[in-house]
Structure 1
Amino acid sequence: MAGLSFIVGIIGNVISILVFASPIKTFARVVKKKSTESFEGVPYITTLLSTSLWTFYGILNPGALLVMTVNAAGAMLQLSYVTIFLIYAPKEKKFKSMKLVALLNVGFFGTVIAVTLIALHGNLRLIFVGIICACLTLGMYASPLAVMRTVVKTRSVKYMPFLLSFFLFLNAGIWSTYALLVKDFFVGVPNFIGLVLGTVQLILYTKYKNKSRSEKSDKDVEKEEEGSAHLAREGIEMQGCEEEGDNQTNTNSRTLRKGSSLPTPSIIRQYSVGKFSRTLSVGSYEQHCDWYLDDENDHHGDLEGGKNGGS
């Protein structure tokens, strides 16, 4: 049984570290752009507190070596994220984040260690720290409840990424199994609840993913129909403009033939008439095409700007 729990614990370490390492790409972009953009530092600050406390719990519990190792690695990663965030965050956001770090990661964490080592003895130490760790983990697993409510309300899984839900489900399942094998109540209870919530997330994803695609397909069909109708109107307008242009040309030719015996107008009048006739010769279709092309170029530029801005 000990060998099986060790294998499960190693698998749990690998999966948890992958979850902890998932923001690396985000913070690489922060360093590259030297800006935190719209990112918030609170999730990383609270996760730093959680991993630090679980590391302390692993130190207190002789049989929780694998709990200590994974959370120590997670704490180092979260510390790196928080440090990068504080370096590149705007002044106001940086000040608020620093206050939160001082309150949670220094004040609260330091108080827990001091109370545990000074005021408590024996098993009370492990129970005190275990309860706090379990509550923090429950908060982490309960955080997607708002997203699940949005999925049910909008009938769309747009705001619930499958991979994140799957890895949290897998992580909770592995640590629930580990806790059952080693009989660790504080590790088992929050992870079992996380397993239930993760299962619900996957069920919701399976239920609404096809509806999301169907709604997307309906929108695409509507756009195609609108585009076809738009092109049909363009063709009618173009044909009308061409017929109008032909009639205008014939009329101008007859007018010129009739006026060939008239005196030659002055240079200024020739210029004015020529300019006026060129203005009238621009049909609605050509004006619409010019506007459409300019609008398409602007839209294409906006798309490129958005794409680059989001890379």
Structure 2
Amino acid sequence: MRRYGLPFITSNNILVTTINGTGATIELIYVVIFLLYAPNKQKRKILAIFVLVLVAFAAAAVISVLVFHGKNRELFCGIASTVFSIVMYAAPLSIIRLVITTKSVEYMPFLLSFAAILSCTSWFIYGILGMDPYIGISTGVGLTLGIVQLILYFCYCDKKILNKKTFAVEESQQNMDNGHNNDVKLYLP
């Protein structure tokens, strides 16, 4: 929840408010650019998800303002932000099944996993030092999930290179067996 750091929820959280506001702006720009250039089928899907997220955010905002006050509002928004942050950090793990099945990390970029670990580490330290359990818990889970991704990456990264070599050799053999002598060149490291 991007509202968690706002002054009417918690006080003295200018860092969280600034970072979350900047992140929300960048994410909104990314979604708009995607919607401008994506194929129509993907536009509809992403637009539906975007509307669902906006409705969930609006519902949580209205509930927090109308129903909860003081510490209860902070508790509600803190728990909601923790839950949604954990879901966000867990989203890239949906690729784990594909990685294990194909024994390839082709669809799991290393730099994304590494950046998630760096970000979660810094925010986890901030949550612990700032005595903010909501930030500490969600980023602690994110850090753990990022480490799982990197472990998985290192378990299968050599197999990715091996699969590319095997595919290139098999493809050249098939071309030669079919009578296609197109001077296939293999670039094997």
Q: Report the TM range for the smaller structure's normalisation.
A: 0.7 to 0.9
Partner of 1:73: 22
2:24 is paired with a residue whose SS is: helix
Task: Write the distance in 1 (CA, Å) between the matches of 2:150 and 2:44.
Answer: 38
1:122-133 alignment to 2 at 5 Å? 122-133=70-81
Name whichever of 113-122 and 96-105 sits farther off.
96-105
Counterpart for residue 57 of structure 1: 4
Task: Note the C-alpha offset of 1:100.
Answer: 4.7
- Give the equivalent residue in structure 2 for 1:165: 113
* Alpha-carbon spacing, 1:113–1:156, altered in 2? closer, same or farther (3 Å): same
How far off its partner does 1:223 sit? 4.7
2-structure distance, mates of 1:167, 1:142:
14
Among all aligned residue pairs of Structure 1 and Structure 2, give the percentage whose two residues are the same amino acid. Answer: 37
Count of aligned residue pairs for this structure pair: 182
Cα-to-partner distance string for 1:260-298 (whole Å, 9 max, x where unaligned): xxxxxxxxxxxxxxxxxxxxxxxxxxxx89xx7xxx9xx
1:217 to 165, 168, 172: 165
The residue correspondences of 1:102-113 to structure 2 (distance < 5 A) are 102-105=51-54, 107-113=55-61
Matches for 1:241-256 after TM superposition, within 5 Å: none
1:205 equivalent in structure 2: 153
The normalised TM-score by structure 2 is: 0.80
Deviations 1:44-69 (A, max 9, x none): xxxxxxxxx32x21112223221111
Alignment partner, residue 42 of structure 1: none
Pairwise CA distance, 1:218:
3.1
Structure 1 residue 120: Cα displacement: 1.2
Q: Say which structure is richer in helix.
A: 1
Q: For 2:88 and 2:138, how far apart are their aligned partners in 1?
A: 9
Residue 32 of structure 2 aligns with which residue? 83
Q: Against the structure 1 CA distance between its residues 212 and 120, is the aligned structure 2 distance closer, same or farther, given a 3 Å change threshold?
A: same
CA shift for structure 1 position 97:
5.1
* CA 1:129–1:158: 2 relative to 1, 3 Å: same
* C-alpha distance in structure 1 between counterparts of 2:117 and 2:25, whole Å: 23
SS for the counterpart of 2:5 is helix
**How has the CA–CA distance of structure 1 residues 152 and 132 changed in structure 2, closer, same or farther, with 3 Å as cutoff?**
same
Report what 1:136 is aligned to: 84
CA RMSD of aligned residues (A): 3.0
Can you give the 5+ residue segments of structure 1 that lack an aligned partner in the other structure? 1-52, 235-287, 297-311
TM-superposed CA distance for 1:130, in Å, is 0.9
Q: Which amino acid aligns with 2:136?
A: G
Separation (CA, whole Å) in 2 of partners of 1:177 and 1:209:
30
Q: Give the distance between the partners of 1:213 and 1:99, measured in 2 at CA.
A: 37
**1:153, distance to aligned residue in structure 2 (A):** 1.8
Whichever of the two has the greater Rg, that structure is 1
